[in-house]
Structure 1
């Protein structure tokens, strides 16, 4: 089920035990994964808006409380004065909303106006889980490691999702980790 004819996609990197975060940070640093994230969430065009991302407050804070370049950020927070606290009030590249439905509705409207066909859900754990029922596609970087003391995890995928494509296994020399990119597509109801 797309949101107002706009694809909802999730993107995350996760360990073998589904860990996506530790102490509000990524448990690894793999530059190819960060480049993949940027390439997926930005679509070069003539517009100032090259992508739309939805995230929870903690994910936003883990990125230094700054909106991503060339993308509009929707930040979900239950704190009513969060936009003012973070100096985001009145900005046109970051909006604070108080629930996922508002984020998706506003993001879909903005995507339509900016001629973008995908809204990206980029974390964290609770936002991924809540958005799953609206999600059409999931882009996961599978990292071949176990994070024993992680504190944020990607939800289990239901049988509604099948692997549409996957990259070769790659190796990151700096972190000494193996990883691959996998695209999951939601099955279309028969």
Structure 2
């Protein structure tokens, strides 16, 4: 699959009923999962003062996901925010920023992200939510990193899509326990089967 020779990966934490969000927030706080997200979406360059200007990751998200993170781009990463609101960059003070770009469809986000990835020597573009962006990006996706959180979320309003049958688990962690939230969770990596 991939997009312009760049790997497209999705990353999400989902409950046993596939919930990824409630009231535009993560339904849990598991610090090990947040560390996992940061580690996955940020590439440590051997020389972070190189010509890439220190970009260590590229993420694509929808407007609501961006707002759920306090409407701020993630540190050391370039954010592409997909929204149909034409004046969104203006509303959020994002014009002429080099770490956040507002685009109006997923194709533009992927095209610009792939171009930026080539220049920054990054081999992966990360799709980080929400529900519609995950769905729309699935056809371009090569790899999916899921955190399975062992809980059911009532009144969930954002769900992770069902995985297409050509994705297979290639790695999985042991079940872990988060003391603070009291929740069990595990990591799994899926890759698209060749052919």
State the TM-score bracket (shorter-chain normalisation). over 0.9
Partner of 1:10, secondary structure, is strand
| Offset, 1:158 | 1.2
Match of 2:76 among 70, 90, 96: 70
**1:158 and 1:94 mapped to 2: Cα distance?**
30
Within 5 A, what are the aligned runs for 1:46-61? 46=48, 47=52, 48-61=54-67
Aligned to 2:6: 6
* Structure 1: 5+ residue stretches without partners: none
* Structure 2: 5+ residue stretches without partners: none
Match of 2:131 among 122, 125, 129: 125
**2:85 and 2:20 mapped to 1: Cα distance?**
24
**1:179 and 1:98 mapped to 2: Cα distance?**
34
**1:69 and 1:186 mapped to 2: Cα distance?**
29
Match of 1:185 among 158, 171, 191: 191
| Offset, 1:53 | 0.0
| Offset, 1:155 | 0.1
**2:164 and 2:79 mapped to 1: Cα distance?**
27
| Structure 1 range deviating more: 133-142 or 41-50 | 41-50
| Offset, 1:186 | 0.5
Aligned to 1:44: 44
**1:158 and 1:79 mapped to 2: Cα distance?**
30
| Offset, 1:151 | 0.4
Aligned to 2:113: 107
Tell me how many residue pairs correspond in the alignment.
189
Aligned to 1:164: 170
**1:127 and 1:149 mapped to 2: Cα distance?**
21
Deviation by residue 1:75-99 (Cα, 9 ceiling, x = unmatched) = 0010111001000000000000000
Partner of 1:129, secondary structure, is helix
**2:85 and 2:17 mapped to 1: Cα distance?**
31
Deviation by residue 1:88-142 (Cα, 9 ceiling, x = unmatched) = 0000000000000000000000000000000000000000000000000000000
TM-score under structure 2 length normalisation = 0.96
